[in-house]
A and B are shown apart, each in its own frame.
Chain A
Amino acid sequence: MTKLVVLIGSYARGDFNQYSDCDIFRVGCENTDLDYSMLPITDQSIVSCIDYDNETFAKLYNAGSLFLYHVLHEGILISGDIEIWQGLQDGFSVQRSFSKELEEISLITEFLSNIEMFGGKFLTPLVNAFTELKNASVFYLAHQGIYTFEKTQCLRLALSNSTMLPELLSLKKFYDYSVRGQDVDLPFDPNSHDKCREVLLEVHKLTLGMRNACNG
């Protein structure tokens, strides 16, 4: 049984800001397996753990999971056997096809483009659309051989041809407002039917485009 605790995300990359979570990747750990004194933070409430059991980790490692690629390339080992960690880094081979992931994302964005379902209250679909669009961008870029995980950079690179790029980038504010509870000015009214409809349909169109580009 392997136990690993790895600092990932913006704190590992060094591009964190005052609103960043401190993301921790753990394999084979219990909730108590985290020594906060090892982390470069003072506020424990910003710690967010992503847990894998050993079996799932092995399965995704062998499948060349893109997420694990980022963990192994950007992550900083906090706790665990350094030789095992280095062996995992050296032996990893990232997957080449992302069509399955992009297919699943496009099914969710299709679901989110059921505009009438939301009854004029669009915060939920906007927040979820941001997550799906960001993930689609990560996979799409990896398909092009570009490996990046920083949210805004991914969107800028993957969606540079969209005429709605400013609105799509601004979706992060809805995410920060809702998921991270930040006090931010929202870029447009989440109860505005026409605007939200336009954005959600564009998100679905773009994820379909990314899916098709990676299928071809």
Chain B
Amino acid sequence: MLVTDSLLIQIHSIFSGFVTIRTNEQGDFLQRNRKKLKILIETITEQLVASYFKKGFVNVPTALLLINTRIQELTDRDDVSLFESLQSVLRHYEILADKSYIDHKPKLEPLFRKEIKILCMNIALHKEFVKNAHAANLRRLLNDC
């Protein structure tokens, strides 16, 4: 199992909330949900690292180092796409984890619209989820985003 069904449902819920809110309020929606996004990305990372590399997760920086050194071992195209997109998100992890009391929207919104969306799409498109109804729902939603 790549990630849990329940995690797919939570990812769907965030994107669903994003697309149903008015465009000029989407940045505020992401700012309000930044902690949830951080937890989702950490959870995806924890599950993928355990699933592929049989390693215990410690934190995002060490997971990124591990992925950087082990991604060459992956041969399946879906796996490579998945981990390349995870790398791209984790390189911007600071935007999710930053404790500064500043407006994060200018960096957060592009990250969500591009890197996070691509990662979630690659999860939903993975061959392991070809018959998974939650992944199918997520694929449909992300295609419409």
Residues of A within 8 A of B (CB): 49-53, 56-57, 60, 67, 108, 111-112, 114, 116-119, 121, 123-125, 128, 177-179, 181
Chain B residues, CB < 8 A from A181: 58-59, 62
Residue contact A116 to B6, C-beta cutoff 8 Å? yes
Contact of B58 among A49, A57, A178 (CB under 8 A): A178
Contact of A114 among B3, B6, B46, B101 (CB under 8 A): B6
Residue contact A53 to B102, C-beta cutoff 8 Å? yes
Task: Specify the chain A residue showing the minimal Cβ separation from B10.
Answer: A117
Residues of B within 8 A of A (CB): 1, 3-7, 9-10, 35-36, 38-39, 42-43, 46-47, 50, 56-59, 62, 99-103
A163 to chain B, nearest CB (A): 26
Measured CA separation A52–B98 after assembly (Å): 12
Residue contact B6 to A123, C-beta cutoff 8 Å? no
Chain B residues, CB < 8 A from A177: 58
A205 to chain B, nearest CB (A): 19
Task: Specify the chain B residue showing the minimal Cβ separation from A117.
Answer: B6
Residue contact A119 to B39, C-beta cutoff 8 Å? no
Residue contact B100 to A117, C-beta cutoff 8 Å? no
Contact status of A118 and B4, CB under 8 A, knowing A51-B102, A52-B102, A111-B39: yes
Interface secondary structure of A, over-half rule: helix
Residue contact A114 to B58, C-beta cutoff 8 Å? no
Residue contact A60 to B58, C-beta cutoff 8 Å? no
Contact status of A114 and B10, CB under 8 A, knowing A108-B35, A119-B3, A123-B46: yes
Measured CA separation A111–B40 after assembly (Å): 10
Contact of B42 among A56, A114, A124 (CB under 8 A): A124
B74 to chain A, nearest CB (A): 20
B69 to chain A, nearest CB (A): 18
Residue contact B43 to A124, C-beta cutoff 8 Å? yes
Chain B residues, CB < 8 A from A108: 35-36, 39
Measured CA separation A50–B6 after assembly (Å): 34
Contact of B50 among A51, A53, A112, A121 (CB under 8 A): A121
Task: Specify the chain A residue showing the minimal Cβ separation from B7.
Answer: A117
Measured CA separation A177–B3 after assembly (Å): 24
Chain A residues, CB < 8 A from B62: 181
B105 to chain A, nearest CB (A): 13
Measured CA separation A114–B13 after assembly (Å): 13
The 10 nearest A-B residue pairs measured at CB: A117-B6, A119-B4, A116-B6, A51-B100, A124-B42, A178-B59, A121-B46, A117-B7, A124-B43, A52-B101
